[in-house]
Amino acid sequence: MGKAVFLHRADSIYDDEPDAKYDFPKTYLDAVRQAVGDWIVYYEPVKAGPRGYFAVAKVQQVIPKPGVEGRYLALIEPGTFLPFDSEVPRLLDGRPLETQLRDETGAPKKGGLQQLAVRRLPDADFARIVNLGLPQDLEEIEERRYSAQDPYAYEPATILERPVLERLTRRPYRDVAFRRRVREAYGYRCAISGLELRNGGGRPEVQAAHIRPVEASGSDSVRNGLALSGTLHWMFDRGLIAVDPESYRILVSHNKVPKDVVDRLILPNQELIRPRNQSDLPHPENLKWHRENRFGQGNFDPPVRL
């Protein structure tokens, strides 16, 4: 086993789905096989876009790509993909974060090493990149985000030092990272009602919903998320509403949801509000799973308020 960097670009000719599979040629087979059972960092090269290092995941196995000679798929272990809270640039103070990309002075090396689609990543480099993209105190950062502006109104608790891998596997930490990215992608606006509600302290009321639940092998990718108000999140999880995977129109189980509820909660055109970045659009396969496995199976029986 050994950690690695996987290069990925949105306009790639390869059939990549970062939260599910990585498509690569036989040239990199030995290098990818060495990463099986270990963690990798996704990197978008400078010429492809501005993201740099943008996510982490764990390789489960490598298989030949069906029907394509000389191509292979690295399958991502379900539940391990996690986008960075802040994308990490290749260079920090002019020095590559990957030690093997530096020359003896610390400056970037010249040559083709940085162009390799798969390259080994020492544990120390992995930890540094992940710490920059997913700070260990992310939960505390989120908790303080909408606290009173008076710097003396909040006294931060001592942060418990947690190893990188422990953080990556803790569900509470992953939930915070997922929520921050999904709500940001939709501009803190509910994708179905169009409302941007905030409480008195400015904290967004919109929630982050998994389209395909984690317990059903859903990932923490933004493309498996929707920003929804609390009521619509509840309705979505219970299959009372869904989103068409082709048209992105909002589907309603009309025999279970009263028309007056639809009129109050859902945009008149019944079209999903898209994320600001088109690369964050809900993945059609996730929407298809929800439609086939959740839609129409719930009952409109809201919780009783006492």
Per-residue pLDDT reduced to its tens digit, 50-100: 679 999 999 999 999 999 999 999 999 999 999 999 999 999 999 999 999
Q: Residue 13 and residue 123: Cα distance in Å, rounded?
A: 30
Q: Taking 80 as the threshold, does the pLDDT of residue 107 lie above it?
A: yes
Give CA angle at 285 (62, 256), nearest 5°: 145
For each of the domains in the chain, give its residue range(s) and CATH number, in order of start: 4-133 (3.10.590), 165-293 (no CATH)
Return the structure tokens found at 31: 């290098």
Q: Residue 59 and residue 81: Cα distance in Å, rounded?
A: 10
Model confidence pLDDT, tens digit, residues 49-63: 567 999 999 999 999
Region 98-113: mean pLDDT is 88
Q: Are 28 and 40 in contact (CB under 8 A)?
A: no
Residue 159 is predicted with a pLDDT of 46
Whole-structure pTM value:
0.88
Residue 268 is predicted with a pLDDT of 92
Confidence of residue 7 (pLDDT cuts 50, 70, 90): very high
Q: Residue 17 and residue 288: Cα distance in Å, rounded?
A: 16
How many CA within 13 A on the CB side of residue 38?
19
How many CA within 13 A on the CB side of residue 61?
4
Q: Taking 60 as the threshold, does the pLDDT of residue 160 lie above it?
A: no
